[in-house]
Amino acid sequence: MIKTIISIILLSSIFFIFIFNVNIGDATSTFTPELIIRENGSQNMVSSIVLDFRLFDTFFEVLVFTIAIIGVSFYMEKLPEYKGKDTILRSPVIQIMTPILFQIIVLISLYIALTGHIGPGGGFAAGVILGTGLIGVSFVKPMDEIENIFKRSKIEKFKILSPLLIIIYGILGLVWGDTYFANFPLTGEVGSLLSGGSAVLINFIIGFEVFAGTWTILYKFIKHRGLL
Given a cut of 70, whether residue 29 has pLDDT beyond it is: no
Given a cut of 80, whether residue 198 has pLDDT beyond it is: yes
What is the average pLDDT across 64-84? 80
Whether 129 and 112 have beta carbons less than 8 Å apart is answered as yes
Q: Count the Cβ atoms, other than its own, within 10 Å of residue 9.
A: 13
Instruction: Please state the pTM of the whole predicted model.
Output: 0.77
For residue 111, what pLDDT is reported? 92
Q: How far apart are CA 163 and CA 221, in angstroms?
A: 24
Tens digits of per-residue pLDDT, 116-125? Answer: 888 888 888 9
Given a cut of 60, whether residue 4 has pLDDT beyond it is: yes
- For the chain, which residues make up each domain, given as ranges? 2-21+30-225
For residue 107, what pLDDT is reported? 92
End-to-end CA distance of the chain: 23
143: alpha, beta or left? (left if phi > 0; alpha if psi -120 to 50) = alpha
Q: What 3-state class would DSSP assign to 75?
A: helix
Q: How far apart are CA 208 and CA 74, in angstroms?
A: 20
Buried-state track 163-175, b at ≥16 Cβ within 10 A, e below 16 = bbbbbebbeebee
Query: DSSP secondary structure string, 105-156?
Result: HHHHHHHHHHTTTTSS--HHHHHHHHHHHHHHHHTTS-HHHHHHHHHHHTHH
